[in-house]
Chains A and B, each alone.
Chain A
Amino acid sequence: MTLLRRTFVLGLAGSSAMAALGCGPKAVRGEDVAGLDDQAMSTGLDRRDLQKMLHENMQALQTSPVVARWQQEKEPTVSVLPLRNETTEHIDSQLDALISDIETTLVNAGHVKVISLESQPALMEQVRRQYQDGFDQSKVAAWGKQIGVRYVVTGKVFNSDERQDNERRVQYFMFIQVLEVETSAILFQYKTSVTKALL
């Protein structure tokens, strides 16, 4: 009896250990797992963080005086330049994806005519190269002229990254600006933030 019980318990423990060892990840769809997009997986920026910051910035833009100005000018031309990454995270590709999101918001709001930088690959390459070598704000207006638009929307994301004994806190800030190409004047500027942490 004792031997039988021992064999049973041993078998159970063995199969449990094997099951634990053999358990691998499985592919899932976001909509199939409740809250999958809500869970923070690291201190990096995920889609939800970026959408939240962008949404707040674009809402502020829609209620700003610059939109009233655009309405008076009847669909002036606008181009969106890449957002600069000044963070401690490799988020350049996510920031590139935001260009299309900003363009979509502007197009759907119906105040401006959006000229995509993607239609001018040579200039796009020039802008990217300049972002690589160190950003020069004075070049923004010149690029706007090259594209042939009246306004440029651009911005940057930077962070304050701190580490304590058993914690790391990263506060991200997203700046969005609207510049008038002719005068280089900043007509709109807004900042939003999100905080991520490992506790």
Chain B
Amino acid sequence: MLRTNAASRLNVLILGFALSACASHADKTRAARSALDAGDPRGALKALNEVLDVPTAKDLPAKTGGDNAVFLLDRAMVLQELNQYALSSRDLEVSDKQIEILDLSNTAVADIGRYVFSDSAGPYKAPAYEKLMINTINMMNYLTRGDLNGARVEARRLAVMQKYMRDHGDKARSLLGPGSYLAGFVFEKSGKPEDALRYYDEALEYGQYPSLAAPIRRLTQESDYSSPRIKELLAQNPAAPGDAPKDGDGELLVIVNFGRVPAKYAKRIPIGLALTYASGAISPYDQERANKLALQGLVTWVNYPELGRPRGTWTEPSFMLDNQWQPMEGMVAVDLEAERAWDDGRGALVASAITRTISRILAGEATKAVVGGGDNSSRGIIGELLSLGVQATLTATDTPDTRNWATLPARIAFGRARVSPGTHVVNLNAAGGHKRQTVTVEPGGWAVVNLTALN
């Protein structure tokens, strides 16, 4: 009786957890991603609002933490595609705070949950490239609205994250490029030449931006800041006699975000392959146990989150200003950073998946031993059934962690041109999207035009 009750309690505990387990992140965002694939951002927005359980994009969910923080990131990109920049900013800012709290949280309970029940049991830990992109994307939103105050706040937030990443030798360094480029633009237009040059210098470390030669030449007349990269850029792009900007000229910056980074999906792989992926991340003890269970035929497959393929084609976007072609530059591959981050973390993810699989088998075996002990044949049958129940429940609750910011653009490109004061027509084309916009530039002013095409 005592043994049966103990097993019942174990089952109840597991069942309690099973009740709280739900579909994976990839399952929940499938409708939104399919809508984006079909070139229907409004449909994607509707699907994400449903996931967030809110009637419209103007509404925030009752709880903004947990997985909702990732859904809000997804919605922010869709809102940017729909030119709803203020709402996109709001979602990014709410999510930014939550992602930070999740990032700093590290509870033992979450770790146990991750290793026993499911990867997605723990708080979402955003990879470095996603953290950098939150502030970079939001700078785009503020600049497009002509709000330098808001853009400066985002540039400062980005600087904190960049410093943290530099101090910790984090990866995703190529993504320092676009953020630094935009921060340079923000501080240039804010009348802070020293800060602008510092950020432009950093952008040049990670990308080719020939159009920066003219602004940097102007800025160096107001600041003593210099560096080998800046000198090299100015030497390679000497000022031509007729190139000097006329008084009152304005400036136009275009930002094209296109394609999508790969989403994750749940995948079952043979234990042998899993052990290969996890080598270096799995403990020798777990490796030995896994091998032993595999030899007994008790473990054959492991359930883990795999990275899919990026979405889109990488044809360079085009930029036309008043019917004149303009060059695009500094194309950054966000999808490659996503793949790099995935490769870096895959071993640990597969190792925890193997550990969970072992835990399931051992929990089942323990249940069988507790209930099915003795010579009573009915107890043996109950033990077998409960053992199967425990394993089935733990398998059902093992949701691979497919969380990622899957609506991030795969590629980002910039274009820049000096313009006379007045009205201008901008045409932007990228694989899957087009925008024609009329902009008015004040004397000595500036404007930013953004095209985001996530299909």
Contact = CB atoms under 8 A, between A and B. Distances in A.
B12 interface: yes
A198 B153 contact: no
A2 B5 contact: yes
A47 interface: no
Interface in A37-89: 42, 44, 85-89
Interface stretch (B96-104, B238-246, B318-326, B360-368): B96-104
A16 B16 contact: yes
A108 interface: no
A166 B106 contact: yes
Contacts of B108: none
Nearest to B150: A90
Contacts of A133: 148, 189-191
B219 to A, nearest CB: 13
A6 B163 CA distance: 56
Contacts, number: 81
B160 A161 contact: yes
Interface residues of B, number: 35
Contacts of A136: 191
Given A9-B8, A90-B93, A163-B164, A24 B62 contact: yes
A6 B149 contact: no
Given A20-B20, A85-B149, A134-B148, A198 B63 contact: no
Interface string A157-195: 000011100111000000000000000000000000000
A135 to B, nearest CB: 8
A92 B20 contact: no
A10 B12 contact: yes
A132 interface: yes
Given A20-B20, A88-B156, A88-B160, A168 B104 contact: yes
Contacts of A25: 62-63
Interface string B139-154: 0000000011110110
Interface in A1-33: 2, 5-6, 9-10, 13-14, 16-18, 20-21, 24-25
Contacts of B160: 88, 161-163
B229 interface: no
Given A25-B62, A133-B191, A166-B106, A5 B12 contact: no
A163 B160 CA distance: 7
A14 B148 contact: no
Contacts of B1: 2
B255 to A, nearest CB: 19
Nearest to A136: B191
Nearest to A160: B160
B189 to A, nearest CB: 7
A161 B147 contact: no
A90 B147 CA distance: 12
A16 B106 CA distance: 25
Given A10-B12, A20-B20, A134-B191, A42 B148 contact: no
Interface string B50-81: 00000000000011000000000000000000
Contact of B157 (A5, A86, A88): A88
18 contacts: A2-B1, A2-B4, A6-B8, A9-B12, A10-B12, A13-B15, A13-B19, A16-B16, A17-B20, A21-B20, A44-B97, A85-B149, A86-B156, A90-B150, A132-B148, A166-B104, A166-B106, A198-B104
